[in-house]
């Protein structure tokens, strides 16, 4: 019973983080939220007895993808604009 409650709690947390990531205008926070989704997903894989997939998800989803997105944000623009996104090279 506790097992099911834990899984449902983690799933709700994942949905919440996903909604936050979509609505957030600050892209850095949105990327961190997607990293949190991957982290919870890897915990869920571990609870569902798939440790191989959990390792892959933790390494790729949490570490590598998040860092590559953060480097991209650093090179382009951090805040999402209403009308259209401008790149740094266009602003100059």
Q: Is 85 in the site for other proteins (CB under 8 A)?
A: no
Using CA atoms, how far apart are residues 86 and 83, in angstroms rounded to an integer?
9
Q: Which is nearer to other proteins, 8 or 71 (CB)?
A: 71
Interacting residue with other proteins among 8, 26, 56, 88 (CB under 8 A): 56
CB-CB contact of 73 with 29 (8 Å): no
Interacting residue with other proteins among 4, 5, 23, 52 (CB under 8 A): 52
User: If you compute the radius of gyration of the chain from its CA atoms, what whole number of angstroms results?
Assistant: 16
User: Residue 37 has which token pair?
Assistant: 């989704």
Give residues in contact with other proteins (CB under 8 A). 51-52, 54-56, 59-60, 63-64, 67-68, 71-72, 74-75
């Amino acid at each position: 019973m506790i097992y099911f409650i834990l899984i449902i709690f983690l799933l709700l947390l994942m949905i919440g983080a996903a909604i936050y990531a979509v609505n957030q205008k600050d892209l850095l926070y949105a990327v961190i939220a997607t990293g949190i989704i991957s982290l919870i997903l890897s915990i869920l894989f571990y609870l569902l007895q798939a440790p191989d997939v959990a390792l892959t998800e933790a390494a790729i989803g949490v570490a590598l993808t998040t860092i590559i997105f953060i480097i991209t944000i650093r090179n382009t623009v951090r805040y999402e604009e209403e009308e259209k996104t401008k790149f740094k090279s266009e602003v100059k």
